[in-house]
Amino acid sequence: MVPETFIDREYAYSGQDELLKKRHSRQGVTDYFYDTTGRITACRNEAYLDSWQYDAAANLLDRRQGETAQAGAGSVVPFNRITSYRGLHYRYDEYGRVVEKRGHNGTQHYRWDAEHRLTEVAVIRGSTVRRYGYVYDAPGRRVEKHELDAEGKPYNRTTFLWDGMRLAQECRLGRSSSLYIYSDQGSHEPLARVDRAAPGEADEVLYYHTDVNGAPEEMTDGGGNIVWEAGYQVWGNLTHEKETRPVQQNLRFQGQYLDRETGLHYNLYRFYDPDIGKFISGDPISLRGGINLYAYAQNPLSWIDPLGLTGEWVNPKDINFSQRTISPHDYAEIMRNGGWDWDRSPLRVIDIDGQLVSYDNRRLDAALEAGLDKVKVIRIDPNAPHPDSSTGKTWLQKFRERFRDRRNIKAGGIVPDKGLNSRPERTSRGCK
């Protein structure tokens, strides 16, 4: 029997491979807009209209695209820790972990262990307090979630089994269990879910239909009938959710599992908050993950972070040089052969009026020569002190000093404030 409803999607991209338009047979047309560094600045469709501004470290600012800062509203987020955003307020502990979130829907208190794992949440709505606990195995994977009674005893348990770093099965005590199947070996994009039935009944296979970033948008049964569907805001919250029968679909962005009690997404090594598009604790690999320890992905429509560890990757063609000359190097062949360690040696970049400019010009030149389509970057806070300055000069001041370096002036003049798009000349006396 042919199902009554068909699902059809069409996508249109820019020359920089940015998703510009999405046509969905059940959700209509959605348009996306970007700045020159590839960060999404606005999204528009029939059900959802929003826009965003960022500081130089890619933190969301508490105003929308086109709005100017209000009195007292900063243009940077200190330490990349958002404390106020669109009616939500966050408080952090001395380790940089969120310990309180307040908003119109109530207050949440978070408790962490010595391994920076979230172990308990208290959700307060009016005079009602509900507490939840989380249990982890030795590798740090969550293996149980439960509710706590007034005496602190767990009940209403859900347990999780893992296949490496992928969720393989969840079991709800006294109810059903679900087995997850993925689209490919090593992928975190869900393909199907097998719901185990009661003894004597047949198991049921439900099929996922995902968006371009792997987030589930529909779930169908064996007859092709939709049993669950949802639409997403850019940073992962839902615009709508509908089910024709209770299937409780909790997978979100690849590698993420929605905790409905808090609205947070469990992301293996961290928890992601779609209200602010960031993790609520710092990157466990510290600065090797990038200068912004809380960042998710520059563009959640096309980038994923299934383990909660991925740094930011950018097309090198979108980055400008801060020099007209460079000294010779042999990096390109190493990069071309896949031997470059981007975790150890990423590109340090600064955002100047929406344009990324590199401090590491030889690496950028080598990436372009090698034909790479993405490089790992660390966004430098322009107001942070430069580590090589003995007088407290900031990174932005050091960039401007470099722009005015005599070697640049001799080779063609002061470098423009937004850097140079053309590759520098190699010379034995060039800037490094």
CATH entry 1.10.3470 includes domain 84-284: no
423/115 Cα distance (integer angstroms): 45
314/308 Cα distance (integer angstroms): 18
Output the six-digit token pair for 107: 């207050």
Residue 139 burial (10 A CB sphere; 0-12, 13-18, 19+): exposed
Q: Taking the model in full, what pTM does it have?
A: 0.75
Amino acid (one-letter) located at 157: R
Q: What is the mean pLDDT of the chain?
A: 88
User: For residue range 362-400, what is the model confidence (pLDDT) as tens digits?
Assistant: 999 999 999 999 998 877 767 666 767 777 788 888 899
User: For residue range 312-324, what is the model confidence (pLDDT) as tens digits?
Assistant: 788 999 999 999 9
Domain locations in the chain?
A: 84-284, 312-426
Q: Fold for 312-426, please state it.
A: 3.90.1530
312/303 Cα distance (integer angstroms): 9
334/275 Cα distance (integer angstroms): 40
User: For residue range 236-278, what is the model confidence (pLDDT) as tens digits?
Assistant: 999 999 999 999 999 999 999 999 999 999 999 999 999 999 9
Q: Report the pLDDT value the prediction gives residue 240, as an integer from 0 to 100.
A: 94
Output the six-digit token pair for 269: 């090594």
Amino acid (one-letter) located at 420: L
280/258 Cα distance (integer angstroms): 14
Pair 290, 378: CB distance under 8 Å: yes
Pair 40, 32: CB distance under 8 Å: yes
Q: List the one residue out of 259, 285, 284 whose CA is nearest residue 273.
A: 259
Q: Which residues pair with 271 in a beta bridge?
A: 266
| pLDDT confidence band for 173 (50 / 70 / 90) | confident
- Work out whether strand 257-258 and strand 28-34 pair parallel, antiparallel, or are unpaired: unpaired
Q: Report the pLDDT value the prediction gives residue 291, as an integer from 0 to 100.
A: 57
Cβ neighbours for 336, distance < 8 A, ≥ 6 positions apart = 370, 371
Backbone CA torsion sign across 184, 186, 187, 193: positive
User: For residue range 306-351, what is the model confidence (pLDDT) as tens digits?
Assistant: 877 766 788 999 999 999 999 988 899 999 998 888 867 889 888 8
Q: If you write DSSP's letter for every residue of 273-330 in order, what string do you get?
A: ETTTTEESS--TTGGGG-S-TTB--S-TTT---TTS---EEE-GGGEEBS-SEE----
359/378 Cα distance (integer angstroms): 10
User: For residue range 97-151, what is the model confidence (pLDDT) as tens digits?
Assistant: 999 999 999 999 999 999 999 999 999 999 999 999 999 999 899 999 999 999 9
User: For residue range 58-111, what is the model confidence (pLDDT) as tens digits?
Assistant: 889 987 655 654 433 456 788 889 999 999 999 999 999 999 999 999 999 999
Pair 122, 109: CB distance under 8 Å: yes
How far is residue 90 from each of residues 15, 60, 205, 415, measured CA to CA in Å?
A: 38, 14, 41, 41
More confident residue, 50 or 67: 50
How far is residue 78 from each of residues 59, 64, 142, measured CA to CA in Å?
A: 10, 19, 31
Other CB atoms within 10 Å distance of the CB of residue 98: 26
Output the six-digit token pair for 173: 């005590």
Output the six-digit token pair for 335: 């990069």
